[in-house]
Amino acid sequence: MSTSEPKRALITGVTGQDGSYLAELLVSKGYEVHGLIRRASTFNTSRIDHLFRDPHEDVHPLTLHYGDLTDGSRLVTLLGDIQPHEVYNLGAQSHVRVSFDEPEYTADTTGVGAMRLLEAVRVSGVNARYYQASSSEMFGATPPPQSETTPFYPRSPYGAAKVYAYWMTKNYREAYGLFAVNGILFNHESPRRGETFVTRKITRAVARIAAGVQDKLYMGNLDAVRDWGYAPEYVEAMWRMLQHDEPHDYVLATGEAYTVRDFLQFSFSHVGLEWEKYVEFDERYLRPTEVDSLIGDASFAKETLGWVPNVLTPRLAEIMVDADVARLETEGHAHWIDVVSR
Ligand code: NDP
Ligand code: GDR
């Protein structure tokens, strides 16, 4: 690579929460960013529209390409065309509850999809470093604190698919010398979090209840313990993992634990409401097998990458509630009609 040539990165899952923050980060660092998007019948790029330029303009820091993690030959041609220096595999069917309804599709996308991308890197011969979005869900039933040396015990089709992807990433590193790393990330959230994950479901409902357009919030297991961090800080660490001299696997977490009930308390009290008056139980939000407690030990990332999370769960809840209140005021209520309630 000549010194004047910008670094090129390919991001799968660029339309998702993490993909959008990572694309922003890499553009700010001068990268030429390429994103894989799935063809949809309506636009699905709202999280990255602000980065996108008309292809007819001279400068376009973000280029989007149609493709899918279930389509291996497309991944090979795409890598050959782009010749990326870094590949971030963030694409996945990422919802744990949905993975029980769609186990085969989840395995295909979240598990085998990672192998297809690794194999595409290998056969296309590109000289790229590879990041795999591994998950604390892989620890499942193994009690906390969980670190890089904790045994996996997945409790969902999603968790099992991520374990497969984790081991394939490790195998490509050992078998072919690929610079491939697993970031084992604990839950991380933001105002861009999908509306059916528990934090965003709560903060979105708080905004609607405070505005008088929703009466009740139906929830599942309030006793689950999670270690919720702030997504923009986590994508910064993904990038640092690929800049390090050697490929390692890293846990990213805050190390602080709260229950879903705690998150309800932080969110409702931020707008002066008592959550107990609005929240009701609905068994449809329970999972056939639950992950009771995830609390990460990110000491290795702190030592090796100098990474320290600053936004902890109570502040995170406030950031998300404020954003949903502001969004509701800007977009109006019509946009918020619940067509899907999960
Ligand atoms: P999101 O659900 O917000 O985004 C998932 C992305 O994957 C979307 O861009 C989606 O595209 C894309 N995608 C889904 N299926 C396919 C497919 N078949 N081919 C190509 N792309 C596909 O997830 P997050 O941003 O929260 O998470 C990013 C990654 O990190 C995921 O792999 C997730 O499993 C993992 N992870 C997330 C954690 C978290 O707390 N957020 C923690 C640990 C791991 P579309 O917009 O078209 O649906
Ligand atoms: P998780 O996140 O399963 O940890 O996976 P989610 O926010 O969906 O659930 C967290 C916990 O909250 C409980 N819960 C509910 N969850 C949802 N979605 N809806 C509810 O109504 C509800 N009520 C209680 C759940 O049972 C669970 O215990 C996320 C995803 O981003 C994965 O992709 C990622 O790998 C892991 O985090 C780390």
Which domains does the chain possess?
8-189+229-252 (3.40.50.720), 198-226+257-293+311-336 (3.90.25.10)
**Quick check: helix, strand or coil at residue 226?**
strand
Of ligand 1's listed atoms, the one at least distance from the Cα of 162 is 34
- Tokens (6 digits) for 164: 């497969």
Of ligand 1's listed atoms, the one at least distance from the Cα of 187 is 40
Q: What is the mean pLDDT of residues 294-315?
A: 98
Ligand 2 atom 27, closest CA = 224
pLDDT score at 331 = 80
Q: What is the mean pLDDT of residues 138-149?
A: 98
Q: Which residues line ligand 1 (CB under 6 A)?
A: 12-13, 15-19, 36, 38, 44, 68-70, 90-94, 109, 133, 135, 185, 187-188, 194
pLDDT score at 336 = 47
Q: How confident is the model at residue 333 (pLDDT cuts 50, 70, 90)?
A: low
pLDDT score at 4 = 73
- Rg value, the chain, Cα: 20
pLDDT value at 56 more than 70: yes
Mutate to test the pocket of ligand 2, among 94, 197, 225, 294 (most ligand atoms within 8 A of CB): 197
**Quick check: helix, strand or coil at residue 340?**
coil
| Helix axes 157-176 and 113-124, enclosed angle (nearest 10) | 20
- Give the percent of the chain with pLDDT over 90: 92
Whether the CB-CB separation of 243 and 85 falls below 8 Å is answered with: no
Between the CA of 69 and the centroid of ligand 1 the distance, in Å, is 11
Residues 199-255 have pLDDT tens digits of 999 999 999 999 999 999 999 999 999 999 999 999 999 999 999 999 999 999 999
Q: How confident is the model at residue 197 (pLDDT cuts 50, 70, 90)?
A: very high
**Quick check: helix, strand or coil at residue 89?**
strand
Residues 292-303 have pLDDT tens digits of 999 999 999 999
Between the CA of 3 and the centroid of ligand 1 the distance, in Å, is 33
Of ligand 2's listed atoms, the one at least distance from the Cα of 219 is 21
Whether the CB-CB separation of 193 and 200 falls below 8 Å is answered with: yes
* CA dist., res. 184 & res. 238, Å (int): 10
pLDDT score at 60 = 78
Residues 3-54 have pLDDT tens digits of 578 999 999 999 999 999 999 999 999 999 999 999 999 989 999 999 987 7
* CA dist., res. 38 & res. 64, Å (int): 10
pLDDT top residue among 58 and 289:
289
